[in-house]
Structure 1
Amino acid sequence: MKLNTIQRKKFRVTGKLKKVASSDRLRLSISRSAKNISAQIIDDVKNITLVSCSSVEKDIRSMDKVNKTEISKIVAEKLAKKAQEKKISKIFFDRGIYKYHGRVKVFAETLRKNGMEF
C-alpha cells in the first residue's frame, strides 16, 4: 500500500516520538479541523487515553463569537487542568501532520503556561 504525503508525515512524527517514549512521559496528540481542535494524552505503553478535551464539548461550543485561536487556548487550559487533576505534568507534544504554527503553537504555549512540561 502506497502512502500519501500526509500519512507519511504523520507516521514520521508519531513514530519518532513512540521510539523515545518512556513510562515517565506520556504523548499528547493534537488534531484540528477547519472549525474544531481536540487533544488527548495517551499512554503508549498501555495503549490507553488518559485525558482528552475538544472544542466540540458543550461548555466550549456554547460560547458566542469566539475565534478559533481563542478556542484553542480554552481547550488547552481545560486539558491542562484535567491533566493536573490526574497528576500528569511531563508529556511529549505530538503535533502530527500539523506545522508548529498558528492554533497549534498557541495551544502548546498555553499548555506550557499552565504547568505542562515538554
Structure 2
Amino acid sequence: MASKESTQRRAQRIRRQIKAVANGRPRLSVHRTSKNIYVQVIDDTNGRTLAAASTLEKDFKAGKKTGADSAAAAAVGKLVAERATKAGIKDVVFDRGAYIYHGRVKALAEAAREGGLNF
C-alpha cells in the first residue's frame, strides 16, 4: 500500500502536468473513497468550482443502493456533465488525481464524455 506522502506526490505531479496542457480549460477533478465518489469542475485561474456532483447528494442517495460501484460513478459522471453543460462548459481537462484510470474512475470519465464533456 502506498504511503500518504507518495500518494500526494503522485497527485501533485499529475496536476502539474494537467495544468501545463490545460490552455485555460477547467479541470474535472475526481476524488473517490471506499464508499463514495466526488467530482468537481474547477477553474484554476480564478480558483472557483464551476460544477460539482457526488454520491452523497439527497436526490442521488434516494435512488441508489450504494455509492461505491461503477454504476454510481457513471451516474455521477452524467450528472456533472449535465451541470457543466448548463454552466456553459464543454471542454475540460481530466484530473484523475492519484487514482489509476480503471474501474469507478473510468466509468465516471466515460459517462461524462457521453454527457457532452470533451476531454
TM-score by length of 1: 0.91
TM-score by length of 2: 0.90
Query: Where does structure 1 lack aligned partners over 5 or more consecutive residues?
Result: none
1:93 match: 94
Q: 1:108 to 1:85 in 2, by over 3 A?
A: same
- Summarize the alignment of residues 1-118 of structure 1 with structure 2, pairs less than 5 Å apart: 4-23=5-24, 25-66=25-66, 68-118=69-119
Check whether the contact 1:21–1:44 (CA below 8 A) recurs between aligned residues: no
Check whether the contact 1:27–1:44 (CA below 8 A) recurs between aligned residues: yes
d(CA) in 2 for partners of 1:81 and 1:89?
10
**1:64: Cα distance to partner?**
4.3
Map Cα deviations across residues 46-101 of structure 1 (whole Å, 9 max, x no partner). 11111111110001111243561111111111111101111101000000000000
Query: Where does structure 2 lack aligned partners over 5 or more consecutive residues?
Result: none
- Give every structure 1 segment of 4 or more consecutive aligned residues whose post-TM-superposition deviation is greater than 4 Å: none
d(CA) in 2 for partners of 1:64 and 1:30?
20
Tell me the matched-pair count: 115
Question: Which secondary structure state, in structure 1, belongs to the residue aligned with residue 49 of structure 2?
Answer: strand
Over aligned residue pairs, what C-alpha RMSD do you find? 1.4
d(CA) in 2 for partners of 1:20 and 1:78?
25
Check whether the contact 2:77–2:108 (CA below 8 A) recurs between aligned residues: yes
Higher mean displacement: 70-79 or 60-69: 60-69
d(CA) in 2 for partners of 1:48 and 1:87?
15
**1:114: Cα distance to partner?**
1.3
